[in-house]
Every structure is written in C-alpha cells, then in structure tokens.
Amino acid sequence: MVPLLMTPGPTEVPERIRTALAHPIVHHRTPEFTEILDDCGSRLKKVFKTDNTVYTMSGSGTTAMCAALENTVSKGDKVLSIVFGKFSERFRDIALSIGADLETLQFDWGQAPDIEKIEEALDDDVKAVTMVHNETSTGVRADVEAVGKLVKDTNALFICDTISSMAGDNVETDNWNIDLCIAGSQKCFSMPPGIGFLSVSDKAWPVIESKKQNYLTDLNKYRSKYPQTPFTSPISLIFGLQEALSIIEEEGLDKRVQRHRENAEFTRTAVKELGLELYPASEDICSATLTSIRSDRAEEILSALKEKGILVAGAQAPENGKMFRIGHMGSIGRPEIERTLEALKEVLEV
C-alpha cells in the first residue's frame, strides 16, 4: 500500500500529472519542445506574479538556491542571511561556501524574523539579503513583503526561497521586490521533484553579467538560451509541469491560495481541539501550506499514523522528536486532511 502523503513536500501527485509524466519522449531541441518550454515559462510568470523571466532548472530546489547565490555573490561580498529554520540555514551555508562576508540574523525556531532587526542590520555594504518565505522546518511564514520594501532602495539584491509557498500561498515576486525568487516542483505545484524554478529581476542582471560564473549554474547561459535550457531539460517532468499549471489555472490562483489558507486554519483549529500545541509562536505567523505541532510524543504519533497508512513528517534537527508536521499543499484537500485528523484523534485516544 502506498501511504497517503501528508508531508510538506513531496506531496501527492494527481493522476492527471502522473499520466502526463508517462507521455512518449520527444526531443528537447525541437521547435515543438521549445514551444512547450515557452508555454511553461509564460504560465510560470503568472504563478510567480512577475514580469521577470522564470527559468526552469533540472535538479532540486537547492539547485535554484545555489544558482541564485552563486550568480550574485562573490567571495568577500557582504551577505545578510535571515535564519529562522533549517532552510534559511541552507542559504547561510551556501553563502559561506562561496566565501561571503556573512552576517547571520538568527531568530528562534518557531519565531518569525523581526523586521526591525533586519532594518538595523541592513547597511550600504550589503550585497544580498537571503530569506525564506515559508520555513518548511518550522511551519512559520515570514513577512517577505516588509523586507522587500527595506531592501528595494538599497544596492542589495533580495533573494527569496518560496519553495514551499509558491502556487499554494500568496507570493508576489514583483510587488514584494524579490530579485531572485526560488521555487520547486514538488511542493504546492503537486509535481514530483526534479525541477527548480528561479526568476531574475532587472536589478540582478548587471551583477550576474559582471561576475565570473560557475559552469553549471551560470544564469547568463540560461538567459541566452531561453526558453531553451543550456543543458538537457527533464522532458517527462516538463510534460507533468504543463499539466500542473493547467490544474492551477483551472482552479484559479486566488482561489487556490484561499483554499490553502482555509485548510490551514481548519487544520490548526482541529489540532488545538485535540489538545495539541502549535509550534509557531503565534497564529498570525502560521504557514498556509503546512501545520507544525509541538509534541513530545511526535515519534510515537508518526509511527502510529504510518501504520494507518498516513505519512506526516517529523521534525528536523535540533527539534527531532519534539515536533511533527502535517502538509496540506497542492492537491491535498479537505477529505485527506479530515482523514489525517481522524487518525490523529484515534492515535491520541482522545
């Protein structure tokens, strides 16, 4: 039996998309496939709410995260890294690996970044600010819009990971002044993993053009080939992506965001009724795409739910065993959430 995936990515992939994956292979360098890539590109812009080009990269979301930093940050450049969970730490670690002059703004797990502290730390020397929108490790949503407003009038580029919010929660790449906006296929797109997305602003290009680039992630190559890709596209996944975008458009992006928010609120209410405590410090910073729950019985709950055919996620270090996370993203709807909550109730013997 394949368990119901209630993890915060990868998530259930609807049959329509899975059928698209099985499409006979076509050659990736034909005009026909270029048209498919172009089609995906223009539809992705609508999901990203951007006029910038959205590039698709063969790889994981981390591929796009690395591309964003490697293309814009050189050794010695000052980077302000806002850290409030595991995936923000990844940004920090990538910046470190590049040899950036790193300033880390660390916030406690379960807390949202404090905008005032970011404002204080942001000086003229900062070349890039990294921030995660929806921290999958803690279930906290950060105020990207507020930080974007601060970064906008500085020389710094605003690099934002929206991997677990894009196509589920509201993300406004241009209105929020995100210069490099990163997403991935396996979260709210309800796609399998294997594609990273990355949009690039006009403010970012001069930096990218003037810098020595790594061979693999060089965005200049992506720009000159667009809508084609410098290296072989993951053809089957691109067929799946087209179908995923159709599903998103049929539902309507606004309605989709509304559904995610309602499902999140429904989940939070039910979880609290079961006597459980939400992990985020307050309700207003809770993610719309996953619910993280503080519990010393996390390991036991995970196993018991798995026996009932439902997979939720545990915590990531250092919160191992003290938290679990329920994903409600992409195609996951009220029936799957209710089934999960019912099983959770049984496990807790409420």
- Applying CB under 8 A, which residues contact a copy of itself? 2-3, 5, 7, 10-13, 18-19, 21-28, 30, 58-63, 66, 70, 93-94, 97-98, 184, 186, 192-194, 212-217, 231-237, 240, 311, 313
Nearest to 236 by CA among 36, 30, 3: 36
Smallest gap, in angstroms, from Cβ of residue 152 to a copy of itself? 27
Preceding amide of 3 cis, omega within 30: no
Smallest gap, in angstroms, from Cβ of residue 46 to a copy of itself? 25
Residue number with CB closer to a copy of itself (11 or 295): 11
Smallest gap, in angstroms, from Cβ of residue 76 to a copy of itself? 15
CA 319: distance to chain centroid?
Answer: 20
Residue number with CB closer to a copy of itself (41 or 314): 314
Residue 325 neighbours by CB under 8 Å, 6+ apart: 7, 8, 136, 139, 290, 291, 292, 293, 312, 313, 314, 315
Residue number with CB closer to a copy of itself (206 or 212): 212
Amino acid at the residue 97: S
Amino acid at the residue 90: R
DSSP at 286 = B
Preceding amide of 10 cis, omega within 30: yes
Smallest gap, in angstroms, from Cβ of residue 5 to a copy of itself? 6
Smallest gap, in angstroms, from Cβ of residue 244 to a copy of itself? 13
Residue pair 219/196 in contact (Cβ under 8 Å)? The answer is no
- Using DSSP's 3-state secondary structure scheme, residue 191 falls into coil
Q: Strand 126-132 relative to strand 78-83: parallel, antiparallel, unpaired?
A: parallel
Residue number with CB closer to a copy of itself (110 or 240): 240
Residue number with CB closer to a copy of itself (42 or 97): 97
Q: What is the DSSP string of 10-62?
A: S----HHHHHHHTSPP--TTSHHHHHHHHHHHHHHHHHHT-SS-EEEEES-HH
Cβ neighbours of 41 (radius 10 Å): 16
Residue number with CB closer to a copy of itself (53 or 63): 63
| Nearest-angstrom CA–CA distance, 44 and 173 | 12
Distances (CA, A) of 108 to 84, 114, 133, 140, 153: 6, 10, 16, 11, 28
Smallest gap, in angstroms, from Cβ of residue 313 to a copy of itself? 8
Residue number with CB closer to a copy of itself (67 or 285): 67
Residue number with CB closer to a copy of itself (24 or 206): 24
Amino acid at the residue 237: L
Smallest gap, in angstroms, from Cβ of residue 340 to a copy of itself? 14
Smallest gap, in angstroms, from Cβ of residue 61 to a copy of itself? 7
